[in-house]
Amino acid sequence: CPCPLPSGDTPLSRLVRRLLSARRSLDLCLFSFSCPQLARAVQLLHRRGVRVRLVTDSQYMGLHGSQIGRLRHAGIQVRHDQHSGYMHHKFAIVDRKMLITGSLNWTAQAIQSNRENVLVVEDAEYVKAFQDEFERIWEEYNPANYSFF
Amino acid sequence: CPCPLPSGDTPLSRLVRRLLSARRSLDLCLFSFSCPQLARAVQLLHRRGVRVRLVTDSQYMGLHGSQIGRLRHAGIQVRHDQHSGYMHHKFAIVDRKMLITGSLNWTAQAIQSNRENVLVVEDAEYVKAFQDEFERIWEEYNPANYSFF
């Protein structure tokens, strides 16, 4: 594979280690997802039997370099918005108890070139607010609710 | 003025109220800043004598609708990056003790149309990490350090 998991102690390797700590579930709400290493970590969790759910933005999911098709192909459940505004969140929830959120889009450009922040929070109050938003979006973007004109 | 401060209880009005609680300082680190109501709140604080410092992205500060020129014209100190990657943070620190951060760019489009999150945090540990990053960036982007080729 051309994109091994990152090693050493870099911001990316620390983020990957947090993700790989998931034992039961990983809920992802990501505007843009084109970083191959992060996609590989998510696939690994899926293969280990962790329940992965991914919500993304309909306008960005088809862009060049997007990992969404690859993740869907691997059998991961993906849902996306249906409206013209952006689904601009960029957060992950590990095992419903660790929230990873910030300014960082999961793209190689952001990781390599930008000034970004990522917060890792385990306070139940914050985690619950984001988990609730995730469940709301997950239902709202259920394909069963699509409207066609 | 065509853009009064927002009233009622909306996410924007709540954000503005948090900002207007500043008594001594407001440190802003914003990728994109084109929302007129938020710019008006910042100008109001500046006029009240609150020390406002603003760091922004050099590629976005000149875009149509940007409020950066207006804020500079009002006498607010603005600094920006000098490199090709984005200064992609979107956070504010009120009185060095309240951190406001999330996915939200300070643009009308984001506020009106996107799915976004904004965290308000007063835990000293989190505030300090962002305050330190602000001070680092503020020094790094000091015009005295510009290099010309």
Q: Give CA–CA dist A133/A29, Å, rounded.
A: 10
Given an 8 Å threshold on Cβ–Cβ distance, is B137 in contact with A115? yes
Residues of chain A neighbouring B90 (CB-CB closer than 8 A): 103
Model pLDDT, residue A59:
92
DSSP assignment, residue B58? T
Q: What is the mean pLDDT of residues B120-143?
A: 96
**Contact call for residues B44 and B117 (beta carbons, < 8 A):** no
Domains of chain B: 25-144 (3.30.870.10)
Of chain A, the percentage scoring pLDDT greater than 70 comes to 96
pLDDT digits (tens, 9 = 90+) for B46-94: 999 999 999 999 999 988 899 999 999 999 999 999 888 999 999 999 9
Determine the residue of chain A that is closest to B56 in CA distance: A115
So what's the ipTM on this one?
0.91
Mutation site, A83, A88, A105, interface B, largest B CB count within 10 A: A88
Model pLDDT, residue A82:
86
Given an 8 Å threshold on Cβ–Cβ distance, is B85 in contact with A117? no
Helices (H), chain A: 11-20, 36-47, 68-73, 108-113, 124-140
Q: Give CA–CA dist B85/A12, Å, rounded.
A: 17
Residues of chain A neighbouring B113 (CB-CB closer than 8 A): 83-86
Model pLDDT, residue B139:
96
Model pLDDT, residue A1:
45
Determine the residue of chain B that is closest to A126 in CA distance: B119
Q: Give CA–CA dist B90/B33, Å, rounded.
A: 9
DSSP assignment, residue B143? G
In whole angstroms, how far apart are CA A5 and each of A31, A38, A43, A112? Answer: 22, 8, 11, 15
Residues of chain B neighbouring A126 (CB-CB closer than 8 A): 119
pLDDT digits (tens, 9 = 90+) for A99-130: 999 999 999 999 999 999 999 999 999 999 99
Question: What residue ranges of chain A have pLDDT lower than 70?
Answer: 1-3, 148-149
Model pLDDT, residue A149:
63
The larger pLDDT score, comparing residue B23 to residue B8, is at B23
Where in the sequence numbering do the catalytic residues of B fall?
A: 88, 90, 95
First-to-last CA distance in chain B?
A: 43
What does the angle CA A91 – CA A92 – CA A95 come to, to the nearest 5 degrees? 150
Model pLDDT, residue B82:
86
Closest CB to B88: pick one of A110, A119, A126.
A110
pTM: 0.93
How does the average pLDDT of chain A come out, rounded?
A: 94
Q: Give CA–CA dist A118/A15, Å, rounded.
A: 9
Closest CB to A115: pick one of B81, B102, B117.
B81
How does the average pLDDT of chain B come out, rounded?
A: 94
Which residues, numbered 55 to 114 in chain B, qualify as contacts with chain A under a Cβ-Cβ cut-off of 8 Å?
A: 81, 83-91, 101-104, 109-110, 112-114
Model pLDDT, residue A7:
78
Given an 8 Å threshold on Cβ–Cβ distance, is B88 in contact with A115? yes
* Position B3 pLDDT exceeds 70: no
